[in-house]
Amino acid sequence: MRVLDVGCGVGGPAREIVKFSGVNVVGLNNNDYQIERATRYAEKEGLSHKLKFTKGDFMVLLTFPRAVRPTNASPANVLP
């Protein structure tokens, strides 16, 4: 399973999702500095094989692939 983390920041929730569930996560953010930090943190925690961070603007996403289910659930609502 793959998870799209829109507005991932420095990847904290994405890393926790990987640790908790083992899924692959793609983090989308429009801030180069935060993408760099997220990538570094994932490498430091040995999670870079499950986490990829990319630059993009979620405001221009017109459609989601069938495999992605958009949600407005915050990480606080997803993880115990």
The pLDDT confidence band at residue 37, using thresholds 50, 70 and 90, is very high
The pLDDT confidence band at residue 66, using thresholds 50, 70 and 90, is low
Q: For 27-60, give one letter per residue: b (16+ CB within 10 A) or e.
A: bbbeeeebbeebbebbeeeebeebbbbeeeeeee
Name the percent of the chain lying above pLDDT 70.
75
pLDDT in the model for residue 76: 44
**For residues 14 and 60, what is the distance between their CA atoms, to the nearest angstrom?**
22
